[in-house]
Amino acid sequence: MPDTAPESRELEPREQEAIRLVQSGAVAQAEALFKEILSDRPDDHEILNAAGAVVAQQGRLVEAYPLFQKAFARAPEDPNVAGNLAAVKRELAARANEGDGDRTKTRFNKGVAGRGEELTDAQKDRIRHLASNYPDVDFGPVGL
């Protein structure tokens, strides 16, 4: 289950209430509150991550994915964000491949050839190093 709690700073009262709602099972109400907070702080990666998590908990992974992507773009070093993005991407890929014996038909496998050719060896090594921090994440689909 994706992690909802922003952890790197003191939480404001609305954030505390949203987390309390999640913990009590009122996920839809927590989602509304996180989205309200996002209207005030649209670039806050912790709130984007938490909003994505509550959307994902309701089974709406396609809607959660861009929230996690936006959070990751703002804080790629945050393991909660990276883990949630990877988990949702993995589940979406699995759903896309259900009943499809030929994985080449899914959009997750199109355009892989040639990725990374413009990167320097130092950049590729840095990416591999960062990916090593997530041993449970399969980076095979992106060539790592």
Residue (of 26, 89, 99) closest to 57 by Cα position: 26
Q: Is residue 103 part of a domain?
A: no
Same domain (yes/no): 61, 132: no
Within-domain flag for 109: no
* Residue 10 covered by a domain: yes
Place of tokens 């703002």: 74
In a domain, 107, yes or no: no
Task: Based on the fold, state whether residues 122 and 92 are members of the same structural domain.
Answer: no
- Alpha carbon separation from 55 to 4, 30, 64, 121, 136 (Å, rounded): 10, 10, 5, 38, 23
pLDDT at residue 132, rounded to an integer: 78
Q: Quick one: 60 and 89 in the same domain? A: yes
89 and 61, same structural domain? yes
Q: Are 54 and 92 in the same domain?
A: yes
Return the structure tokens found at 11: 């939480």
* Residues 56 and 120 reside in one and the same domain: no
Same domain assignment for residues 128 and 78:
no
Q: How far apart are CA 52 and CA 34, in angstroms?
A: 9
Q: What is the pTM of this model?
A: 0.63
Other Cβ atoms within 10 Å of 95 Cβ, number: 12
Which residue is it, tokens 């990276």? 82
Tell whether the model's pLDDT for residue 104 goes beyond 50.
no
Domain limits at 143?
115-144
Structure tokens at 134: 């997530």
In this structure, what token pair is assigned to residue 30? 């927590």
SS3 46: helix
Residue 73 has pLDDT above 90, yes or no: yes
Nearest alpha-carbon partner for 115 in 72, 144, 138:
144
Q: Are 82 and 73 in contact (CB under 8 A)?
A: no
* 49 occurs within a structural domain: yes
Residues 126 and 68 in one domain: no
As a whole number of angstroms, the distance between CA 40 and CA 128 comes to 36
Q: Looking at the domain assignment, is residue 81 inside a domain?
A: yes
Banded pLDDT at 103 (limits 50, 70, 90): very low
Same structural domain for residues 66 and 11?
Answer: yes
57 and 126 fall within a common domain = no
pLDDT tens digit sequence for 17-72 = 999 999 999 999 999 999 999 999 999 999 999 999 999 999 999 999 999 999 99
Q: What is the CATH number of the domain that holds 16?
A: 1.25.40.10
- If asked whether residues 5 and 65 sit together in one domain, one would say yes
**What's the domain count of the chain?**
2
